[in-house]
Chain A
């Protein structure tokens, strides 16, 4: 298992943990993010800890015209690509400020979908590869507290589902990851329940396992499957009056 792994949005806590988990298995790592050059310490860390080769690549998820050039500019087409791009924003701001809403919609859906579309074509041509999209339980049902972010993730979830369906016959696998709450910089300001909150390392381990076992959709903590099943089962008549 020494195929290169591409991490998109490599600066996030989940991405860093995922890069470590794959590097620990000996995979060379391609870290892609904006201002990639400022990730020299992350590169040094992976190289020092695991003795693997690490390369840095400038990648702007919102620059969708640049995605083909980005993928074709990689030194080698990766075998596994993980997309950890995304931003939550503040729901209230997302409701009132169209520019903020657009940024959330684009960075959680449009950017990830377009770059995965490009990678999917390259993987399909080669006849191998795994795409791992980090989506969210927030996409399972829109809720007042974060439906802008949630709807973008819902779009990404649907996109991944379609991509998986399309590529199933071409030996390209697609994993949808729904982490639930994760203790990261993005959620640092929130007061999260401990039993429902995973550490970035847990997400990373779950991703590595899901890739190995060719799982389709995973909830990092299984309890989230139950929680979301219940939330999705509530009739709209009742659901619309709740605040969860």
Chain B
């Protein structure tokens, strides 16, 4: 939309003015140039979460390849950046040494980075360049496990995540209170109250929910939906999704021989096979009446997990009779499709706003850290943009609507959320149409919405926050009409 272009232009202008101001200060200049370059680069999405929450698996599932984790010899992890590149390449940034190239070993389904010779705690960042379509629009960041807040209420890893990433996928196994506490602390502490929500909560390892019954993914999805409706969670995250990284990755990497083995297993009568699928042990050690040897079974278990094997055999039995069909169904069921769609709608479509926000936060830090003549004025401009830009107003309204709400009834709140871009920032998504709806229908819907919300904005019976919220919605509608008038979508 045109509005976004102006926001980015404004931020651009501010950064250049700051560069002019700090032209004698190499440190500040470096930082500002970094922010400037970041505006050009793809959106940075960090995958964060506590220990063993399935960060690397999910990253692999999104990439469709086995590239994570990059781990040291004793299992210590670093900030690993996955960027798009011409050819596979990895660079290590450490605390004491200049950047150093690392050996990348390609494997059948991905790659492995050789970290021999590095001591624990020495490495800080690893940048992996990997040619893949998934990284065209995104830079993914694999992070070390997030620990609970320390005595100052801060979590060091999460602070860095919030500083370096434009958006965050936060993984939790079961949405337990301690995870939410970390998120609350992060929201209250550091970066910008101005545009609060840039996180999505992911119930990872959804396949293990409830002991891995066949309907585990369905119930996990229900759980996610219920959490999403909870205002305490809604205030923290744009969306709550259930996703099994393991099943999703298996779907994306499923090979012909694996499918053949699964098909072979599926031929065994169901009651008979079930006895072998009772436990991982039984599946490995037992001798099912199918021509699948132990090594193959171990590989299947490794790829799919016990739940995945159960699901896949059921799927094969119920009609997924080819590798592509099974693979698509596994991906669909794993929740990966939904996750990618959500990322695309809520993060990528809004990337200009998210990047502008990161840049403004970075600029504000520089201005506050090194005050000088003219920095106060720039700080004022920064705050004016953060407070005044319509995109941020939309984000704030969205957060309020998701959290405590404004006191609108559910239907109105849902409409307001849709119109300000809570379900995606495309015109069709905002107006609740399929994305190929004709322009005149969109025009009509937008104009109607504008009139309705204009009335609400002027309604003296509503409370002031509600009228303010309605004004923001009206402004969004006007923006849409302007875009339509200019012939854009």
B is a partner of A = no
On A, residues with C-beta under 8 Å from B are none
